[in-house]
Structure 1
């Protein structure tokens, strides 16, 4: 449609779910493109199929857009093509990468994605060499140099790909929203990663040591509490509640046991509420709003999980969270206690997330079908679950026997 572009009109343009254009009646050839996602950009067209994005509405003013469009059109009449196109000149109004991330990309990302803190951290701490550059000045070569630096520093290919994935998302949006014409990572291939690499799970003796360490830690905490109370009573002070009769001295043991028996992600455990634990149906419901894939899944509880959660609930607080943090809110960090537990158990190179691998590995080795394991883990793609296929008992041997 054609309208005289005004600030009021630009502010009133609605998201329709489809891309559309509003052509200016003041400067012929200038129009505003509104994408399906609602991004608004000034565009100038000087011939059939020949057009150029000038900048984002809100970054570029209407007067600036008209001035630039007028210049493009005059040059096109005089030379056949605008000099900005033939000489590769870019509009001076493009933001730096840092400004684009802070002012435009992250506000959008936070509204549409969970776990935005991790993405924010990745972007803020790994791309300093290009943060001050304008969006259109960043090249694939710049990003290749950054990637090479990570590899030389000892980063694993999977880690490098994950970091590059974060910045790739930034440039994808910059292209979609008409800030830049080409994606600088378009020709930069991901590093090859061994998708069937080593899956870290606990050996039988490690499982025993981990459980023994949990018990030893609790015994130590009980002894320390009794010693502290004896000291307080000698000085006629109010003793702290005894831990002797409680099944758990704090959150760590029940949290570890639930993780080992359900394969829940750490963030899912932190978000877990009692309303999602159904002792009648013996299931835990992991709500889509808290999962990585945004899909709700239902995890059956085995006998140990039921016993742990029933006992934990009896001694727990009034918080709606199963594992509340300080003040009854969401739990935030278990890293320090986890590392000390691993040291006590003498277990090396075993992350909290590896308990999820341990859960899956034990299921596969027990003969559980991969698609069932996929459902329990909440994998969006069966390819993720296929990493455990080699653990299935006798699968390859049985296949070879068929010929």
Structure 2
């Protein structure tokens, strides 16, 4: 039995790679090769090029250069991320990039559509927030590629944004804090200052465990985050409990340049403490929620809470506003205040009416 032949003008450069190319003669009779992607995409592109050649159309300049693959523009974006983003954000981008490369590595960048991206998202069993993060990274990849002249359009813009459920905010209640604190003290009491620092500053995990002593000023009671999650510098004031925690950490790790002794994260001791304390559905990031929630419940205005948290937009902070019902309650309680008794005073409009009539006669 004869082996089936490939479609005319279509070939797989590396057998088994599933990356297909086309070969054709353009309108000027010059022989050309072009990477297409899947076999189906190659067949469609070959037909398109043949029609263009018959119509006498010249290839646009961008096709006279090598077609940029997704892997190429992804590499450019990862280089940008490493230079312009915080270390933790870069690591997240690098991890997600591996997933994206698994989907689209050798595809021509301009051949990827919003439908292709959406199909990949639908194959995953993800919470709504996860595809949004991948969508944001894809959008960054294509924005940079457009700026570099490698593609013309950003397909991620056409992928719908998922609605995220950020309504529920998990924070420590006073009894939970007591139980959790006891659990930490019983197993690893030297970690209490790290716990207190998080509760009283609202630092992100990466900010706290990347904090250098050179960025801390105990006399001024402030610490500096050189580059926060959104890429800006911010200054964090220190209350008495935070200062005390930092002083203890200084004594615990006198030789370390890092405030928390060089540890990268608290998972090794924090998660066992949560289990011992029977505090469920809680993570280290919830300590940041606790910091914000307690500020709001203490009557601190939302704009100040936004500044203390380092949120780029106030929309991120507004979700804590339901924890401070006093200002809204005060507003509706005004309806309970008796209104003034209406008076019998009337306004004499005769003078006004006479003036109006005279003006009409003059005109």
TM exceeds 0.5? Answer: yes
Cα distance, 1:274 vs structure 2: 1.9
- 1:317 aligned residue (254, 263, 286): 254
Aligned residues: 283
State the match for 2:299 in structure 1: 367
Cα distance, 1:293 vs structure 2: 2.4
Gaps of at least 5 residues in structure 1 are 1-71, 219-247, 326-330
Cα gap change, 1:399 to 1:80, in 2 (>3 Å) = farther
Cα distance, 1:127 vs structure 2: 5.0
- 2:159 aligned residue (170, 176, 188): 188
Determine helix, strand or coil for the equivalent of 1:305. helix
Matched, 1:205 2:185: no
Matches for 1:296-375 after TM superposition, within 5 Å: 296-325=233-262, 331-375=263-307
Cα gap change, 1:91 to 1:401, in 2 (>3 Å) = farther
State the match for 1:149 in structure 2: 123
Cα gap change, 1:182 to 1:340, in 2 (>3 Å) = same
Cα gap change, 1:136 to 1:297, in 2 (>3 Å) = closer
Cα gap change, 1:392 to 1:175, in 2 (>3 Å) = same
State the match for 1:34 in structure 2: none
State the match for 1:294 in structure 2: 231
Cα distance, 1:374 vs structure 2: 0.9
- Using CA pairs under 8 Å that are at least 6 residues apart, name the structure with larger relative contact order, 1 or 2: 2
RMSD: 2.5
Gaps of at least 5 residues in structure 2 are 1-48, 336-363
State the match for 1:263 in structure 2: 202
Alpha-carbon distance in structure 2 between the residues aligned to 1:283 and 1:387: 26
Determine helix, strand or coil for the equivalent of 1:323. coil
- 2:68 aligned residue (95, 113, 118): 95
Cα distance, 1:148 vs structure 2: 1.4
Matches for 1:2-401 after TM superposition, within 5 Å: 81-82=57-58, 84=59, 90=63, 93-102=66-75, 104-114=76-86, 115-126=89-100, 128-150=102-124, 153=125, 155-195=126-166, 197-218=167-188, 248-249=189-190, 252-287=191-226, 289=227, 291-325=228-262, 331-401=263-333
Cα gap change, 1:305 to 1:120, in 2 (>3 Å) = same
Residue deviations 1:222-267 (CA, integer Å, cap 9, x gap): xxxxxxxxxxxxxxxxxxxxxxxxxx53xx3211110011001111
Alpha-carbon distance in structure 1 between the residues aligned to 2:134 and 2:224: 31
Cα distance, 1:346 vs structure 2: 1.0
Alpha-carbon distance in structure 2 between the residues aligned to 1:133 and 1:92: 16
Cα distance, 1:311 vs structure 2: 2.3
Contact 2:70 2:107 in 1 (8 A): yes
Alpha-carbon distance in structure 1 between the residues aligned to 2:221 and 2:215: 11
Alpha-carbon distance in structure 2 between the residues aligned to 1:257 and 1:138: 48
Contact 1:130 1:142 in 2 (8 A): no
Cα gap change, 1:397 to 1:98, in 2 (>3 Å) = same
Cα gap change, 1:113 to 1:297, in 2 (>3 Å) = closer
Determine helix, strand or coil for the equivalent of 2:159. coil
Alpha-carbon distance in structure 2 between the residues aligned to 1:181 and 1:286: 37
Alpha-carbon distance in structure 1 between the residues aligned to 2:251 and 2:244: 11
Which protein is bigger by CA-based radius of gyration?
A: 2
